[in-house]
Chain A
C-alpha cells in the first residue's frame, strides 16, 4: 500500500510539484477538513491515559485502542530543514506508538527508562539499527525517515515493544482521537484525495474539492 503510494508519487512528481507551488503560494486562504473516521471496535473500553500500543492480529498492525491517521495525499515539497519528531521509550513502550511523519523528518528516540533500549527496523522503507543505548546517550539517537512507507520499530531487548512510523509524502496529516474525530487545517485549495490510515492493511480514501476558508466535513465510514 505504502509502496503504491510512493510509486504513484514518483510518477506524478512533475505535475504535482507545479500544483504544490500553486497551493503553497503565500496568502492563499487555507481550507479545513473535519469529520470522523469509523474505527474498528475494540473489546477494551477506552480509558483516560491508556497507553497506545501496537497490536498484531492476523498479520495486521494497528494501534490499541484504535486510532487512525488522516492525511491529504499529494506530492508536497520537502521542507528545507527537516522537521523533527520524537518517539520516547518509557516504561518499556514506545510513546507514541503510531507516529505519522512527513518524509524527510528526523525522529529522535530518547530513552526515558533506566534500562538499555535498542531500536531497529527491517522495514523496507527504512532499515536501521541504533544499537543499545541508555538514557544518558547524547546526542539523542535519531533517524531520518526519507522514504514514504510504514516502518515497524522494534526493540532488540524487549521483544514486545513495537511502534509504527507512517512516513507520508505530505505535511498535511493528523491523528484522530480515540473516537475517530479529526480536524485537518491549513490545507491547500483544489481537488485532493483525503486518506484515512486505519491499520497496516486498511486505508480509506475520499476525494475532496477544497476551497479556501471553507470547512468541509468528511466522514470515513
Chain B
C-alpha cells in the first residue's frame, strides 16, 4: 500500500529463485480484483505504510482486517505462507497473526514498540538463526550468524505479559540479534532493546514469519558495502524451498 518500500528488491529476489512473483496492491485485494487464494505466499515488505500514523503497521493491518481477515485466516490455517519484513512484521503483529501462540488473535498480543534509543536505527545487524519450529528457514543451520541490515524506528518486540513472552521465547524465535561472537548483547548489537534480543519470530505452525532485518537488502553480495555476504538469500531460499516441498 502507500508507503511500502523494498517491494522491488523482494520481487527480484523471488524472481531470481525461479518463482513468479506479482505485485499486489491492497486496493486490488479490497475491490476483489485479486484474491488471496490465488497465491502460495503473501509477502508484506517493509516501509512506512500509511505514514506509520497511529502506530507502525496499524492502519495497514486494520484495512486487511476489515476486508480480508477471514480469507487471510483461512489461507494461513490451510498452510499458506505469510512473511512480513520490518513494516510487514509490524502489520502481522497488529493483525494478530503473530505471535499467535494460541492461534490467531482478535487483538494484538505483542507490539513492536519504539526503539530504546528513540532513533531510527539504519545499519547492519548480526542475527543468529534459532529456527525453532519455523518451516520457512529449515535450510539455515541452527546457530548460523548472518549479516542482514536493519532500518526501523519501532522494532522493540514486547509481549502482553511475562508468561506469554517466555513461551514465545522458548518455542517461536527464528532470529536473534547477536554480537560478532554469536552472543546475545545489548545496544548497539541489539538495535532496539527487543525482548531476549528477538529479531524474528514465527507462528506455532511455522508457516507465518516476521522479522525486522531486511533480507532483500542482503540478497546479493554487492548490496553489502564491503561485499561481506548475502545472508538474506538464505531466507528467500528457505521460503521457496518450503513452497516447493508443500505444493
Partners in one complex: no
Residues of B participating in the A interface, judged by any CB pair closer than 8 Å: none
